[in-house]
Amino acid sequence: MLDWLLEPLGFEFMRNALAVGVLIGVLCPVIGTYLIVQRMSLLGDVMAHSVLPGLAIAFFLRINILIGAFVSGIISAFMIAWIRSQTRIKVDAAMAIVFSSFFALGILLITLLRNKLDLDSFLFGDILGVTQQDVVRTALITATILLLVRLFYKELLFYTFDPVGAQAIGLPIERLYLGLMAAVTLTIIASMQAVGVVLVVAMLVGPGTTAYLLVKELHHMMGVGALVGVVSSLSGMYSSYYLNVPSGPCIVLVSFGLLILALLFSPSHGMLTYRDRASKAAKA
């Protein structure tokens, strides 16, 4: 058993991949929790695909593609907010419009600029290709976002559950929204190489949703979600190594498996524990 655990650690690429997996396993659920509670889970998917135009332009201009991805993601968030506030279009329609338009623009720019951008890696991730520099960058992004969440936890909590009340008492809800969207974009950037944009929403939402079925408080939800995310990342990486299959899908499928277990056996929401709760309620 010990040899089974230690063997992958003998390779530098696996050590780097496991380190990044643990970092995004913590980061994604913490930020995804806010999206789940606000019923904006699909916003993560929208912004994950909206970074493509920025990637294409940055690649063509030979600047850091992460800068292009960040700018593109923030612009998409502004557009969704503008459409919601200035028109009668509902938020789900606004997200669908921005999602499809930005993704189409990205594909068009890649063709027109004749970029040699690796779309497969962008869409599905390549966690085994991460370097020590990628680990350091992901660690810095994770530490920065977690620190800001800790510093502005009360304000974000109020804004998440009661944006109207937050505005009434004078909280800068526009800045809070912008800050949250910046955190979502940075989280997507940090996770992009690990699982790709197609699967990143699963890591943003999956562990947090599992935690939502198990606990009630927001900070507990973040903690349990981070634990589920780390377990999913490590289990998915080891499964990928020994089964010789892609890592990103393995991580996401382990996360989904844990969600199914929570759906079945959650003490308060489990489908299989419902009868026990009903029986105890009847006796009471």
Indicate which CATH number applies to the domain containing 19.
1.10.3470.10
> What integer pLDDT is reported at residue 178 of this predicted model?
86
Residue 123 binned pLDDT confidence (cut-offs 50, 70, 90): low
Check: CB of residue 50 under 8 Å from CB of residue 185.
Answer: no
Q: How many domains does the chain have?
A: 1
- Whole-angstrom distance, CA of residue 229 vs CA of residue 252: 9
> What integer pLDDT is reported at residue 117 of this predicted model?
66
Task: Return the minimum-mean-pLDDT range out of 105-109, 195-199, 240-244, 266-270.
Answer: 195-199
Longest dimension (CA), the chain: 70
Check: CB of residue 49 under 8 Å from CB of residue 123.
Answer: no
> What integer pLDDT is reported at residue 211 of this predicted model?
93
- Whole-angstrom distance, CA of residue 201 vs CA of residue 252: 10
Q: Taking 70 as the threshold, does the pLDDT of residue 180 lie above it? A: yes
- Whole-angstrom distance, CA of residue 150 vs CA of residue 118: 36
Range of the domain at 48: 2-283
Per the model's pLDDT, the better-predicted residue between 88 and 222 turns out to be 222
Residue bearing tokens 């499809």 = 100
Q: Taking 80 as the threshold, does the pLDDT of residue 277 lie above it? A: no
> What integer pLDDT is reported at residue 26 of this predicted model?
93
Q: How many alpha carbons lie under 13 Å from residue 83 in its C-beta half-sphere?
A: 16
